[in-house]
């Protein structure tokens, strides 16, 4: 494709994207397809001859769109917001067009230096101490894995047997809340600690936040048994209920035992741009690493996750490789992001964040987040005031955990009722929520925060919740 052919095709594609975004409110929120239906609608073999762009766009319309859950829909309340501002989409397109090779500073100095600038912008906007230095990772799962690898190496160094797990005499132990995201045990296992050495610390039964006394007791028991606490992973905004582990209490405990503190604020991190919400993050500057995702609530299209560390030298010591073909004369003056994580070749992800912040403006993003927080409070108060409905966890952020509990229903019958009305709501196409288990029973998470969701949409959701629950109750 020549640049001139690209220009014509690109205009058509941008028109397609703009039309698609405009019609999203009229589409069903949940993907409407059966397993295998989409792959079955495509040819088995790759085309030998070029096809027209019109044919490809027609397939996008006919086959692809129904196979995507519309996270940009005003009725999307599932999992967590996965906003993709059109400003950040433009940045992603620019990144593709530039086709920068992000392997070293020298291969694309702009890629490195704009990443330094935007991670520093976000550091300042979130009120973090200037000692934090950030890099963009693909996901929080990767950021947590990198943090665990760094924690493992520090723990093995502290045992005076530098050289990784193989050289450590004592088993190294990691602690997280029982409500930690699945990426946490995955990172702990992938970094070689072993499933026997991951402790799920009890949470407070009403706030669902980690109980620091239980953490301290678990660490003391491990030390008494000859094991070494290596890391604590604190969740600020758990996936189930957006609970906030008390980092200000966790940090001194972890420090007494020489353990690394990693903060998983994948969802909630966006709230740090609101000064009035920073009390939820008290103590965060005492941690060793933080991960949070602008690709969730902040609105920068997937994939864009930030990993901040305080001790860059230690991270680089864990991650760096210096083959002769990657050396340059600037090495001692520049940041080499290949040494801050796992991949060598890195995308120009900073551009989508740069476009997002520049074209949206921070104040407008703050106002959108405040709108969502107010909408969540409204929904929580409305649900709590309704007989037979219950709000099940504190609503510190924008997610409301709720259940319809009609008289006479409990246990498995209540579970069946919850899943029946949630599935009916999702099948209706007007809204999408994620049922999830809390204390062993099904409940429904309403995670407010899609860019398009206004108060009127949340009011419409509340009417739909009641209608579907009542209909399920009479079956």
Q: Which residues bind ligand PLP (CB under 6 A)?
A: 80, 139-141, 181, 183, 235, 237-239, 264, 266-267, 293, 305
Question: Nearest distance from residue 251's CB to ligand PLP, in Å?
Answer: 19
d(CA 432, CA 291): 27
Cβ nearer to ligand PLP, comparing 307 with 414: 307
Question: Nearest distance from residue 237's CB to ligand PLP, in Å?
Answer: 6
Question: Nearest distance from residue 87's CB to ligand PLP, in Å?
Answer: 20
Cβ nearer to ligand PLP, comparing 266 with 393: 266
Q: Is residue 174 a contact partner of residue 230, using CB atoms and an 8 Å limit?
A: yes
Question: Nearest distance from residue 221's CB to ligand PLP, in Å?
Answer: 27
Beta bridge pairs of residue 434: 445
d(CA 19, CA 283): 45
d(CA 123, CA 182): 26
Cβ nearer to ligand PLP, comparing 141 with 398: 141
Cβ nearer to ligand PLP, comparing 198 with 464: 198
Nearest to 82 by CA among 71, 70, 67, 97: 71
Question: Nearest distance from residue 141's CB to ligand PLP, in Å?
Answer: 3
Question: Nearest distance from residue 110's CB to ligand PLP, in Å?
Answer: 25
First to last CA, the chain: 58
Cβ nearer to ligand PLP, comparing 264 with 360: 264
C-alpha radius of gyration, the chain, whole number: 24
Cβ nearer to ligand PLP, comparing 80 with 354: 80
Among left, alpha and beta (phi > 0; psi -120 to 50; other), residue 412 is: alpha
Provide the token pair at 120.
């520093």
Query: What residue has token string 């703009």?
Result: 18
Cβ nearer to ligand PLP, comparing 430 with 449: 449
Cβ nearer to ligand PLP, comparing 88 with 238: 238
Q: How far is C-alpha 131 from the geometric centre of its chain's CA atoms?
A: 23
d(CA 29, CA 232): 37
DSSP 416: H
Question: Nearest distance from residue 295's CB to ligand PLP, in Å?
Answer: 7
Q: Is residue 372 a contact partner of residue 448, using CB atoms and an 8 Å limit?
A: yes
Question: Nearest distance from residue 145's CB to ligand PLP, in Å?
Answer: 9
SS3 321: coil
Question: Nearest distance from residue 139's CB to ligand PLP, in Å?
Answer: 3
Residues with Cβ within 8 Å of 59's Cβ and at least 6 positions away in sequence, in order, are 42
Query: What residue has token string 């309704």?
Result: 386
Nearest to 193 by CA among 224, 228, 235: 228
Query: What residue has token string 């499933």?
Result: 195
Q: How far is C-alpha 350 from the geometric centre of its chain's CA atoms?
A: 17
Cβ nearer to ligand PLP, comparing 182 with 474: 182
């Amino acid at each position: 494709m020549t640049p001139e052919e690209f220009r014509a095709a690109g205009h058509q594609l941008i028109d397609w994207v703009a039309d698609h975004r405009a019609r999203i409110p009229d589409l069903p929120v949940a993907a409407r397809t059966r397993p295998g239906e989409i792959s079955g609608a495509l040819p088995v073999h790759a085309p030998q001859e070029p096809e027209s762009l019109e044919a490809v766009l027609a397939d996008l319309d006919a086959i692809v769109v129904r196979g995507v859950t519309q996270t940009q829909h005003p009725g999307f309340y599932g999992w967590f917001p996965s906003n993709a501002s059109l400003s950040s989409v433009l940045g992603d397109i620019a990144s593709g067009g530039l086709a920068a090779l992000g392997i070293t500073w020298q291969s694309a100095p702009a890629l490195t230096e704009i990443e330094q600038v935007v991670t520093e912008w976000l550091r300042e906007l979130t009120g973090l101490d200037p000692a934090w230095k950030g890099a963009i990772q693909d996901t929080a799962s990767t950021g947590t894995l990198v943090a665990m690898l760094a924690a493992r190496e520090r723990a093995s160094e502290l045992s005076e047997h530098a050289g990784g797990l193989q050289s450590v005499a004592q088993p190294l132990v990691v602690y997280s809340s029982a409500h930690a995201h699945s990426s946490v045990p995955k990172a702990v296992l992938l970094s070689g600690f072993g499933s026997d050495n991951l402790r799920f610390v009890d949470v407070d039964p009403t706030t669902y936040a980690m109980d620091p006394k239980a953490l301290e007791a678990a660490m003391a028991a491990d030390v008494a048994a000859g094991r070494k606490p290596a890391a604590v992973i604190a969740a600020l905004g758990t996936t189930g209920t957006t609970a906030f582990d008390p980092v200000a209490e966790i940090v001194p405990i972890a420090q007494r035992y020489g353990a690394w503190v990693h903060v998983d604020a994948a969802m909630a991190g966006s709230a740090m741009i609101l000064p009035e919400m920073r009390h939820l993050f008290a103590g965060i500057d005492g941690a060793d690493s933080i991960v949070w995702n602008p690709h969730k609530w902040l609105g920068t299209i997937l994939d864009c996750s930030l990993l901040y560390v305080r001790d860059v030298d230690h991270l680089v010591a864990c991650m760096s490789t210096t083959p002769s073909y990657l050396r340059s004369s600037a090495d001692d003056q520049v940041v080499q992001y290949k040494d801050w994580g796992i991949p060598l070749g890195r995308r120009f992800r900073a551009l989508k964040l740069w476009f997002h912040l520049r074209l949206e403006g921070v104040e407008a993003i703050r106002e959108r987040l405040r709108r969502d927080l107010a909408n969540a409070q409204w929904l929580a108060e409305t649900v709590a005031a309704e007989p037979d409905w219950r709000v099940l966890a504190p609503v510190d952020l924008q997610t409301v955990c709720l259940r319809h509990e009609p008289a006479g229903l409990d246990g498995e019958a209540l579970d069946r009722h919850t899943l029946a009305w949630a599935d009916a709501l999702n099948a209706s196409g007007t809204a999408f929520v994620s049922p999830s288990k809390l204390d062993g029973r099904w409940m429904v998470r309403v995670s407010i925060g899609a860019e398009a969701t206004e108060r009127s949409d949340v009011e419409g959701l509340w009417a739909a919740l009641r209608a579907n629950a009542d209909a399920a109750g009479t079956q």
